[in-house]
Structure 1
Amino acid sequence: MDAALLRRVEQQRVAMLYGNTAAVSGSAVLMAALMVIIAWPDVSGLTIFLWCGGVLLVQAGVQWLTFAYRRAANAQTEPRLWGMRLANAAFVAGLMWGSAAFVLVGPGQSLALALISACLASRATISIMTHAYFPPALHSFAVPVFGLLALRYVFEGGYRNAALGVLWIAVLGYVLLFVERQARAVATQIRLRVENEQLVDELKRQNTLAEEARVRAEEASRSKSRFFAAANHDLRQPLHSLGLFATALRNGSEGRAGIKLVDQILLCTESLEQLFDNLLDISRLDAGQVQVKRETVPADQVLDRLRSTFSVPAQEKGLRLRVRGSKALLSTDSTLLFRMLSNFVSNALRYTSEGGVLVACRKRGRTVRIEVWDTGLGIPADQHERIFEEFYQLNNPERDRTRGLGLGLATVRRIATLLDHPLKLDSSVGRGSRFSIEVPLADAQRTPSVSATIEQKVPNLLRGKLIVVVDDEASVRLGMQSLLESWGCKCVTAMDAAEALAGLGSDIPDFIIADLRLRGEDTGIEVIRTLRAQLGESLPAVLISGDTATEQLRKVSTAGLTIMHKPLKAVRLRALLNHEFARRSREMEEGEPQKTA
């Protein structure tokens, strides 16, 4: 790679780094506020004030540096210099955040330390998204945060605290390895884009380069797909672990104060999960990786689900939600259709302060037009197209996350195009809006499809059950063990099938939970096959993975196994286990042979 191309790649990486400083500062202020809430009952006001002042001062320094970068004459000629300046600022910020483990937590306050640790882990996760373009900046921030956190646990004393300290160092190592890999992918993607631009310029002069340009463009597209596939799996890993830890911590918390604080962490985790899901859904739709499962769906099935999902949020806001039933049979993908309609209803409730929301169907020839009406602010005519753009929001200049992320309608337009369901918007400023989707009618003689659902309320049959967890990530194993034991299960964790068999000894487990992608070429599919061959073919099992690639899902389907995607919600896992144990109990009572999950 020549020097000019290297400089252009470095320029874009540093520009992307500085472009995220506003988002970083906003999330930092929110996280600092949460940590203040945690520390307030046990730490002096002066200490909290000084720590908050230090955090705000560092963030102000970062914003000043960003302002200077955008006005500097040498920003494009010396990108490395400006990148390292922000890396130095990130190091100071890392020291400030890492010091919270000492400043905001007193001796022996294990619950407060656990909550602060979860907050710091969330803060570091956000920095992965914003600093991965320029690894020195991420290294400068993550090393002091995790280093000071590990040191705090070591100072706490005891074997378990020392083990947790070592675990945080291991998490740091994972973060650094992940960032290096993602940084290389980003640099490759930028380099390929720059090279393609040069090839297009050359193509104008020489038509003989057309084939080469096409090949390079396809390679750039494959690089982007690989990047998002890796992000889908790797970025979900720490979120999955954090969710398991927080849920287990909530189950063990005593008193309203502790439960309320853990609930705040869970809300932050769900916000990050929503952001990842929306971004990755858009990338998968753009890449053509979403498969449509068209079936005959009763309209009432989708409408009833909308009513049950949004009735409580509407009541809490003092709004009236009306969902009119329909006997129509639709030819569509029920999951994708619900995704579109739920975005419409969610937005309508968010931007309506008086009145209510109406969902209704109208037959129009061989189609049904499903309409969502609201009495909200309305949308100016010149903004009707822009609201379907990514991250574009009306009436939210402060980027309040409680009012959405600006990705819902962008996803809706892509799904509507994929399903070939025409989308229409009518709105009057001050009077409200109407979003509508035209869905084709199904053949009335066809039998409606019934979508499988996971029971949300089943008896608790988990107590005393022996669960095997196989995962190559130590944090995931520890988090899953904490969660299962909080439900009364016994748990054996392992990195592979051999370690699982050794840990079980002569015991026969009741269930296997295995990660799909393990170390090397090993997979959870092979682990389940090995354990079943040794312990019994009827042993129920489930795979858990952050990988949504079509090839991987095809392998799981061929193996006849069930898969659940990370970050995994604890309530879904508990419902699955209860459902499986209830089924096995019924089969034993009836004397029927057990089926494999």
Structure 2
Amino acid sequence: MDAALLRRVEQQRVEMLYGNALAVSGSALLMVAMIAVITWPHTSHTRIIGWSIATLLVQVGSLVLTTGFRHADNRATASSSWGWRFAAASGIAGCVWGSSAFVLVDSNQSLTLALIAACLAARATISVITHAHFPPALHAFTAPVFGLLALRYIMLGGYGNAALGVMWFAVLGYLLLFGDRQARELVAQIRLRYENEQLVGQLQQQYALADQARARAESASRSKSLFFAAANHDLRQPLHSLGLFATALRNGKVDEQGRRMIDQILQATESLEQLFDNLLDISKLDAGQVEVKKEIVPANLVLDRLRSTFAKSAEEKGLKFVVRRSRGVLYTDPTLLFRVLSNLVSNALRYTERGGVIVACRKRRNGVSIEVWDSGIGIPPEQHERIFEEFYQLNNPARDRSRGLGLGLATVRRIVSLLEHPLNVRSTLGRGSRFSIEVPLADPNKIHSGAATIEQKVPNLIGGKLIMVIDDEESVRLGMQSLLESWGCKCITAMDSDQALASINGRVPDFIIADLRLRGDRNGIDAIRELRAKLGEIPAVLISGDTATEQLRKVSAAGLTMMHKPLKAVRLRALLNHEFAKKQRA
């Protein structure tokens, strides 16, 4: 036991010793009264009163000592000293109590002595309970009580009295042994309590350190997300303008060589867009902006889409690509499940040079396991967790972009967690890997999937429509105007809502395209609200390269659609056609 713990144990023992002083005084007064009643008929009243006063003075002294202890400033630091003071007071009290066998009883009053002996034994027994916390105090009290009582019996003479004297010495020895054992157990209990408190304190300290580490990790994660969001926005802006100008240029009069160059520009733009889209997926998932829409769907709906999506890529690489159909009916979000499986299949094809890739289903107790097998390079066991980290790739030190960006599996991990579909990985180096997803089964009689409906082509309804473009970047406004006019639209551009209202000249736009971030503290959400307040409920869309969690939540709360930069022209055209078709049907 270390020194600090010993001091705390000692302090607690002395505290308990003084804590029982008041209770001891009450029992002592009762015992004094009993002895006075027993001896009153046979003993001089002067001796009885004198002894009683002496006993009461001893108890008063004990109470004064107790009061001093309770008000002392050094009770914690000088606990041992206070304990020995109490032991000294107990020794004086023991002598006074033990003297009753001589002062209050004559040699011919054996019955009175026996009754006094019983009272003294009871008083000593009480002291075992109250003084065992501090053995010196117990010894100081019981030794004179039983020692004087035994000595009185021995001095009376005779074999029987001598035997009684020895018996009281034996009782004294037993009480001392019992008291010592009680003291050791008490010390063990106090020590155990303090050790537990120390352990709790250490655990709390460890928890506090863990909380601090977790807070630092969360802060670092937030900083990383904010950095990605800011970089994403700033990089998308010029890329968005480039894509708009290139598409508008391609729609104009360009010779074959110029068209090929524009196609290369658009291809490079699309590669960068893929990177930004992957970053956006991560940001949306971390921001909780991806909504899960589970429904009952046939497994073949997802499997057939995988086959049609990747069959050509596998064929171009000379790989076998097998998708085994299944009669299973799943309860899942088919769109998110397809994103997970398409990422897994894309990775499998990318890291497989010969052999092939198989997608198949296996029946499990509570669902179905959709598995993607490949005969690729395999994954070392120690890397099975790291492959789900952002930008982590196996065997790609040169960061060859044809082998992906290292974000696919990070997205997979987040989506399966959102879907609550367990994901498992098994792999053997040089032989291939297997990724499996556990998906719950559903009742096939309840199939009703919006994903199974056939999309209808939307007619070209944008010709002649007046489109309002609000963006604080001149290059974006010019690029968007060129693109929209190449589609036969009329276009008004403005850098904010004030300029937009000033430039309409009594016309009402058919559609508003607004950038999310405008100059100063303005934003596209407020600009759309202001235009709608003046001109009526005009359909609108926000365009932004911002993937910050806070901005995504603001757009969602405003009930607006947001498209992310760099914006593909075909997506914008499809959105405009869809909105005007919807308006036409209404």
TM-score (structure 1 length as normaliser): 0.56
Decide which structure has the larger Cα Rg and report it: 2
Partner of 2:106: none
Report the Cα distance in structure 2 between the residues aligned to 1:353 and 1:211, rounded to whole angstroms: 45
Report the Cα distance in structure 2 between the residues aligned to 1:384 and 1:353, rounded to whole angstroms: 21
Report the Cα distance in structure 2 between the residues aligned to 1:326 and 1:246, rounded to whole angstroms: 44
Partner of 1:572: 571
Alignment of 1:356-505 (within 5 A): 356-379=356-379, 383-442=383-442, 448-451=448-451, 457-505=457-505
Alignment of 1:142-541 (within 5 A): 217=216, 222-252=222-252, 254-282=254-282, 285=285, 287=286, 289-298=288-297, 299-379=299-379, 383-442=383-442, 448-451=448-451, 457-537=457-537, 539-541=538-540
C-alpha contact (below 8 Å) 2:330/2:442 kept by paired residues: yes
Report the Cα distance in structure 2 between the residues aligned to 1:305 and 1:239, rounded to whole angstroms: 31
1:378 Cα deviation from its structure 2 partner = 4.0
**Residue by residue, what CA displacement relative to the aligned partner does 1:37-63 show, whole Å, maximum 9, x if unpaired?**
xxxxxxxxxxxxxxxxxxxxxxxxxxx
> In the superposition, relative to structure 1, how do residues 512 and 316 fare at CA in structure 2: closer, same or farther (>3 Å)?
same
Partner of 1:590: none
Equivalent position amino acid for 2:541 in 1: V
Of 444-453 and 232-241, deviating more is: 444-453
TM-score (structure 2 length as normaliser): 0.57
> In the superposition, relative to structure 1, how do residues 222 and 454 fare at CA in structure 2: closer, same or farther (>3 Å)?
farther
1:369 Cα deviation from its structure 2 partner = 0.7
Alignment of 1:63-78 (within 5 A): none
User: RMSD across aligned C-alpha pairs, in angstroms?
Assistant: 3.6
Alignment of 1:1-80 (within 5 A): none
> In the superposition, relative to structure 1, how do residues 457 and 524 fare at CA in structure 2: closer, same or farther (>3 Å)?
same
**Residue by residue, what CA displacement relative to the aligned partner does 1:548-568 show, whole Å, maximum 9, x if unpaired?**
445444443444432222222
Equivalent position amino acid for 1:273 in 2: E
Equivalent position amino acid for 1:419 in 2: L
Report the Cα distance in structure 1 between the residues aligned to 2:402 and 2:337, rounded to whole angstroms: 24
Report the Cα distance in structure 2 between the residues aligned to 1:380 and 1:219, rounded to whole angstroms: 31
Partner of 1:546: 545
C-alpha contact (below 8 Å) 2:284/2:547 kept by paired residues: no
User: 5+ residue gaps in structure 2?
Assistant: 1-201
What is the aligned residue count? Answer: 382
> In the superposition, relative to structure 1, how do residues 467 and 452 fare at CA in structure 2: closer, same or farther (>3 Å)?
farther
Report the Cα distance in structure 1 between the residues aligned to 2:554 and 2:336, rounded to whole angstroms: 23
Report the Cα distance in structure 2 between the residues aligned to 1:562 and 1:282, rounded to whole angstroms: 19
Partner of 1:561: 560
**Residue by residue, what CA displacement relative to the aligned partner does 1:420-459 show, whole Å, maximum 9, x if unpaired?**
3222233445544322111223465756442599969533
**Identity within the alignment, %:** 70
C-alpha contact (below 8 Å) 1:463/1:489 kept by paired residues: yes
1:461 Cα deviation from its structure 2 partner = 2.6
Equivalent position amino acid for 1:499 in 2: Q
1:334 Cα deviation from its structure 2 partner = 3.3
Equivalent position amino acid for 1:424 in 2: N
Report the Cα distance in structure 1 between the residues aligned to 2:476 and 2:343, rounded to whole angstroms: 32
Which SS does the other structure have where 1:577 is aligned? helix
Report the Cα distance in structure 2 between the residues aligned to 1:581 and 1:453, rounded to whole angstroms: 21
1:493 Cα deviation from its structure 2 partner = 0.7
Equivalent position amino acid for 2:539 in 1: P
> In the superposition, relative to structure 1, how do residues 452 and 265 fare at CA in structure 2: closer, same or farther (>3 Å)?
farther
> In the superposition, relative to structure 1, how do residues 214 and 396 fare at CA in structure 2: closer, same or farther (>3 Å)?
closer
1:494 Cα deviation from its structure 2 partner = 0.6
C-alpha contact (below 8 Å) 1:376/1:433 kept by paired residues: yes
Which SS does the other structure have where 1:406 is aligned? coil
Equivalent position amino acid for 2:474 in 1: A
Report the Cα distance in structure 2 between the residues aligned to 1:483 and 1:465, rounded to whole angstroms: 13
C-alpha contact (below 8 Å) 2:228/2:279 kept by paired residues: no
Equivalent position amino acid for 2:408 in 1: G
User: 5+ residue gaps in structure 1?
Assistant: 1-202, 588-593
Report the Cα distance in structure 1 between the residues aligned to 2:373 and 2:215, rounded to whole angstroms: 47
Equivalent position amino acid for 1:308 in 2: S
Report the Cα distance in structure 2 between the residues aligned to 1:333 and 1:499, rounded to whole angstroms: 43
> In the superposition, relative to structure 1, how do residues 241 and 444 fare at CA in structure 2: closer, same or farther (>3 Å)?
same
Equivalent position amino acid for 1:570 in 2: A
C-alpha contact (below 8 Å) 1:423/1:436 kept by paired residues: yes
Report the Cα distance in structure 2 between the residues aligned to 1:548 and 1:436, rounded to whole angstroms: 30
